[in-house]
Amino acid sequence: MRFWWQLSMPYQEVSLEELRLNVGRQKLDALMELISAIRSSHDEIDAWLADAEKTFPVIQDRGFSSDRSD
């Protein structure tokens, strides 16, 4: 709920211009698609996540998995 509230606030902690200066085009496009999905529906968020995992594969930290005790 807090995340939804933050998205609906009228101010921006990071401007779009700051993102353009500091984030590559591909990731900026993905971020804008995520914001659009969040404003749309849970299904859109799920679809975005599936696409994002294909485009930006999750990095598996071998050290993390070896430290787990389960």
Distance CA 41, CA 35 (A): 11
* Residue 51 belongs to a domain: yes
Give the range among 9-13, 16-20, 56-60 with minimum mean pLDDT: 9-13
What is the chain's alpha carbon radius of gyration, rounded to the nearest angstrom? 16
* Residue 6 belongs to a domain: no
Number of domains in the chain: 1
Residue 32 has pLDDT above 90, yes or no: yes
CA distances from 11 to 1, 31, 54, 57 (A): 18, 18, 32, 32
- Average pLDDT of the chain is 84
Sign of CA dihedral 46, 47, 48, 53: positive
State the pLDDT at residue 68: 61
Q: Is the pTM of this model over 0.75?
A: no
Query: pLDDT band at residue 43, thresholds of 50, 70 and 90?
Result: very high
* Residue 70 belongs to a domain: no
Task: Please tell me which residue, 7 or 29, carries the higher pLDDT value.
Answer: 29
Q: Which domain holds residue 50?
A: 23-56
* Residue 61 belongs to a domain: no
